[in-house]
């Protein structure tokens, strides 16, 4: 019995040795892999590779401010803050309560209004009627007279003028501008409601090119601080002759309201894209 037990113990011991050796080998391989990984990662970091350093937005804006002193000074000083506020007050006095809100004038008198994201077909019909003088004057609208401080496109001899109050964060303003992507949910929603819907500013632009209509843009920044700041930035770009380029860029880059898309940093990045000083 004792001899058999001794033999069994020896057999068990002999059988367990290969397993122990195998486990030790696996541990050694795993350890070698980990060490190799650490060495490789260290080499990458020494060469300046690996995970890029996080950009400091404060430092980035400071660098932009330094590289574009004219635009940055205009934006940071709030040079046009009062003008933006005044434009909103005057728009409110004319009956503006949301954007886009437009007024069609013939001979300096309001003959029709454009309310919200109307279809191009409807707005063009109103313009055509105004051009032939088939619209009656609307007397109860206190619209501020057009002046040289207004941003406008088109001939000064145009028979009809479209004054449009807008907010750069307003999605409906972006939709009617024709600068919003055609597959945007809002555009698809408008088309679903009216299959013939098209951005009316595309039609208005054709009339301005022909000299029949003059288009006047006015601020009615009401959706929050980024609406006001983006309106200021557009006017600062206007100081360098690029109001309309900046105007189009803002509408082409809408992304929510007051979520940082039109932050001071981004407004300066936009200006850098346009090579402003």
Give the pLDDT confidence of 55-110 residue by residue, as tens digits: 889 999 999 999 999 999 999 999 999 999 999 999 999 999 999 999 999 999 99
Q: Which domain holds residue 169?
A: 57-273
Q: Tell me: do 62 and 134 sit in the same domain.
A: yes
Q: Tell me: do 169 and 187 sit in the same domain.
A: yes
Q: Tell me: do 77 and 172 sit in the same domain.
A: yes
Stated pTM of the model = 0.80
Q: Tell me: do 49 and 13 sit in the same domain.
A: yes
d(CA 202, CA 121): 11
The count of domains in the chain is 2
Element (H, E) at 266: helix 264-273
Q: Tell me: do 194 and 74 sit in the same domain.
A: yes
Q: Tell me: do 88 and 106 sit in the same domain.
A: yes
* CATH of residue 120: 3.40.30
Q: Tell me: do 116 and 47 sit in the same domain.
A: no
Q: Tell me: do 47 and 163 sit in the same domain.
A: no
- pLDDT reported for residue 117: 97
Q: Tell me: do 47 and 69 sit in the same domain.
A: no
pLDDT at 243 over 70: yes
- pLDDT reported for residue 5: 42
218's CB contacts (< 8 A; 6+ apart) are: 87, 90, 91, 150, 163, 164, 165, 166
Q: Tell me: do 112 and 199 sit in the same domain.
A: yes
Q: Tell me: do 67 and 116 sit in the same domain.
A: yes
pLDDT in tens, 32-69: 444 444 444 444 434 444 444 568 899 999 999 999 99
- pLDDT reported for residue 55: 80
**Confidence class of residue 247 from pLDDT cuts 50, 70 and 90?**
very high
pLDDT in tens, 131-189: 999 889 999 999 999 999 999 999 999 999 999 999 999 999 999 999 999 999 999 99
When computed from its CA atoms, the radius of gyration of the chain, rounded to whole angstroms, is 33
- pLDDT reported for residue 163: 98
Can you say how many angstroms the Cα of residue 162 is from the centroid of all Cα atoms in its chain?
Answer: 25
Q: CA torsion sign, 230 to 242 to 186 to 194?
A: positive
- pLDDT reported for residue 9: 39
pLDDT in tens, 3-36: 444 344 344 444 444 444 444 455 554 444 444 4
């Amino acid at each position: 019995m004792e001899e058999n037990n001794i033999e069994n113990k020896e057999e068990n011991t002999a059988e367990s040795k290969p397993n122990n050796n195998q486990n030790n080998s696996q541990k050694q391989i795993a350890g070698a892999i980990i060490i190799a990984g650490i060495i490789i990662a260290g080499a990458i970091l020494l060469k300046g590779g690996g995970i890029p350093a996080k950009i400091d937005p404060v430092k980035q804006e400071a660098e932009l401010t330094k590289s574009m002193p004219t635009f940055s000074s205009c934006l940071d000083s709030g040079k046009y803050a009062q003008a933006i506020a005044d434009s909103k007050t005057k728009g409110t006095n004319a009956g503006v309560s949301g954007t886009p809100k437009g007024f069609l004038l013939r001979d300096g008198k309001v003959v029709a209004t454009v309310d919200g994201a109307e279809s191009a077909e409807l707005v063009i019909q109103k313009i055509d009627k105004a051009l032939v003088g088939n619209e009656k004057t609307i007397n109860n609208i206190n619209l501020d007279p057009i002046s040289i401080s207004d941003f406008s496109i088109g001939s000064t001899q145009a028979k009809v003028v479209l004054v449009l109050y807008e907010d750069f964060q307003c999605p409906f303003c972006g939709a009617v501008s024709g600068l919003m992507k055609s597959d945007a949910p809002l555009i698809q929603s408008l088309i679903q409601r009216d299959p013939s819907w098209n951005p009316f500013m595309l039609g208005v632009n054709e009339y301005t090119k022909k000299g029949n209509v003059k288009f006047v843009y006015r601020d009615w920044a009401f959706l929050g601080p980024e609406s006001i700041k983006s309106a200021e930035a557009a006017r600062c770009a206007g100081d360098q002759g690029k109001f309309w380029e900046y105007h189009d860029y803002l509408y082409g880059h809408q992304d929510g309201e007051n979520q940082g898309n039109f932050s001071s940093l981004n407004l300066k990045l936009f200006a850098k894209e346009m090579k402003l000083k």
